[in-house]
Amino acid sequence: MNSVFTDQRSLGVTFREGKAEVLLWSPPSETVEIRLLKNDKRLPLTKTEYGYWSLTTDELQPGDFYKFLLNGETERPDPTSLAQPEGVHGASQAIDLQDFRWTDQSWNNLPLDQYVMYELHTGTFTPEGTFAAIEGKLDYLKELGVNAIEIMPVAQFPGSRNWGYDGVYPNAVQHSYGGARGLQHLVNACHEKGIAVVLDVVYNHMGPEGNYFSDFAPYFTTKYITPWGRAINFEDAWCDGVRRYFIENALMWFRDFHIDALRLDAVHAIKDFSPTHILREIKQHVDQLMAETGRQHYLIVELDLNDTRFINPLEEQGYGMDAQWIDEFHHALRVTATGDQSGYYSDFTGISHLAKAYRDAYVYDGQYSPHRNKRFGIKAEKNPGQQFVVFTQNHDQVGNRMMGERLGQLVSFEMQKLVAGAVLVSPYLPMLFMGEEYSELNPFLYFVSHTDPDLAEAVRKGRKAEFAYFHLEGEAPDPTQEETFQQSKLQWQLVEQGPHQKLFNYYRTLIALRKLHPALRHLNRRYVEAEADESRQTLILHRWYNEQHILALMNFAKEQQAVSLDRHSGQWKKILDSADSQWGNGFLAPEFVSSPSTLTLQPESFLLYTSHV
């Protein structure tokens, strides 16, 4: 493994015993100085092995602003900066991460199979758009039943409006959100409420504006080209310094911010064919950190490959990731609920693929994919349910629509309840997208605040080309306008109103049932059966654990449909009915049913029955 310290941060500016220790990686540089803005003083760094430059000084203190001067002429912010109060082009600010007073000593994360996740974007989750404002909503999330929040990326990006995937300072927490102190305070508050924190990080690319990495070192390679340009250099010449940079970043979030899990963005776009893949090496160091601290941390990946190598354990020569997002469950559910088969939905037939997703996790596990024009995927027979994250919506599936419509704008109120049930009774980890639990009406649009006019125009053109792929006409909202950002904020007053309040109560009940019943709570995929009837658009999901059995009966049709319970013997007691008058139309299914029998399902409805045999 690389020479990385797990017990303390080594890169950038750190403080120990009243002195600043500075370590910068810049192999091409002939000279490196650090310029202190408070007195315009330049302090030279000493070159050491492998292109690192170091300095120990008492002249740089927490709170001071500084820049690096390369070869006496190129002045740049610190690529390992922890704070950029003046933005991506401004000076870096030295801070000491160790002086935060944590009160979460009794917290040690939740078992992964208990996670009920809630993805949120800091800037649009609240009117204020800050970490402090998120703290004010933690009791609401507790009432809902969520026990893990997943925060979209917070690495410093240009301006104050961005999804977060244009970050150019992976170690610096977005200043407009509250910076490093604000994030530490939020995590501490979450742990006091019993809520885990998942942080979205981006190791496959960096944003374009304020990206000065190439001035320092070969952080990028021309060997591979990604959708964002040159690939990050994880295997070409000088890659050791790049690998160390990202390993230290992962360790920093866990160690210094007490983050419980990282969600790694689009890891299929990480180009690394070295003997030890960078994800595997990150996992090795995280394991070492956990052994030293006794704290549990998870690594969750977004992966557009049905390849269990990423989530298989290290001892089986896998990369050791703890879980992955499974878009295929979403796609099969979305096609079933809406009938939309445009773009990448064209690979999915609907309810039969949804049944396969319940059984096999991957829909494509070796079959021919018409969308890709090739066979795709392998079977995931040995991977437990907690290794797959499922959802009806997320930032991509909503925000990458031209008008950013949430699912609630595309389907009926009854269908919203049905798809929520489909996710929350799955044998996988469920994730909600902020606002879906009460059917938020505002869209979630794509927005940026680039200061470079040419870059802003390139973003507009890129969005238009992307929507042309889906054969959509018209103009998308301008991502660079503040109005687009403001339109995407949640409307919290809706939670207390009419059908919005009913849907919230329905979600809360579903989540409580998932936690209560062993057959739903335990994610053993061997005890799952899913049977679809394409002609009727119905699906029966059967899950069990020890002596408890659960039947989830789903009707995606717009008409009543009959389902036979002949294959499911026993006495069944109803525990949830989406048509219940407290959140539905009052056309209730029987409280008790026995097999053999036939049951009539209401249009677009969801039923849960339980029995003990």
Provide the residue type at 522 as one letter: H
Is residue 108 in some structural domain? Answer: no
Which residues of the chain fall below pLDDT 70?
Answer: 1-5, 460, 462-473, 613
Specify whether 271 is located in the same domain as 169. yes
Provide the residue type at 304 as one letter: D
pTM of the model: 0.96
Specify whether 145 is located in the same domain as 264. yes
Q: Where does a domain end: 457, 479, 511?
A: 511
Q: What span, in angstroms and rounded, lies between the C-alpha atoms of 190 and 202?
A: 23
State which residues form the domain around 66.
12-98
Specify whether 124 is located in the same domain as 65. no
Active-site residue, 454 included: no
Is residue 224 in some structural domain? Answer: no
Taking phi over 0 as left and psi of -120 to 50 as alpha, with beta for the rest, 373 belongs to left
CATH number at residue 71: 2.60.40.10
Q: Are 515 and 145 a contacting pair, CB within 8 Å?
A: yes
Is residue 142 in some structural domain? Answer: yes
Specify whether 24 is located in the same domain as 122. no
Q: Where does a domain end: 453, 482, 511?
A: 511
Q: Characterize 597-607 residue by residue with b for buried, 16 or more Cβ atoms within 10 angstroms of its Cβ, and e for exposed.
A: eebebbbbbbb
Is residue 344 in some structural domain? Answer: no
Q: Are 286 and 253 a contacting pair, CB within 8 Å?
A: no
Is residue 2 in some structural domain? Answer: no
Q: Are 169 and 231 a contacting pair, CB within 8 Å?
A: no
Is residue 3 in some structural domain? Answer: no
Number of domains in the chain: 3
Out of 235, 265, 396, 437, the active site residue is 265
Q: What span, in angstroms and rounded, lies between the C-alpha atoms of 508 and 502?
A: 10
Specify whether 178 is located in the same domain as 309. yes
Out of 150, 166, 272, 302, the active site residue is 302
CATH number at residue 597: 2.60.40.1180
pLDDT at 1: 46
Encode 221-254 in three state secondary structure: EEEEEECCEEEECCCCCCHHHHHHHHHHHHHHHH
Specify whether 274 is located in the same domain as 407. yes
CATH number at residue 293: 3.20.20.80
Active-site residue, 49 included: no
Q: Any idea how long the chain is?
A: 613
Q: E strands within 502-612? A: 528-533, 538-545, 548-555, 561-564, 570-577, 592-595, 598-601, 605-612
Specify whether 151 is located in the same domain as 261. yes
Is residue 234 in some structural domain? Answer: no
Specify whether 173 is located in the same domain as 56. no
Tokens of 605: 């409805």
Q: How far is CA 195 from CA 141, 142, 180, 186, 386, in A?
A: 9, 8, 19, 11, 18
pLDDT at 468: 61
pLDDT at 227: 87
Is residue 600 in some structural domain? Answer: yes
pLDDT, one tens digit per residue, over 137-167 is: 999 999 999 999 999 999 999 999 999 999 9
Specify whether 571 is located in the same domain as 430. no
Q: Where does a domain end: 98, 128, 151?
A: 98
Specify whether 78 is located in the same domain as 198. no
Specify whether 445 is located in the same domain as 541. no
Specify whether 482 is located in the same domain as 608. no
pLDDT at 55: 98
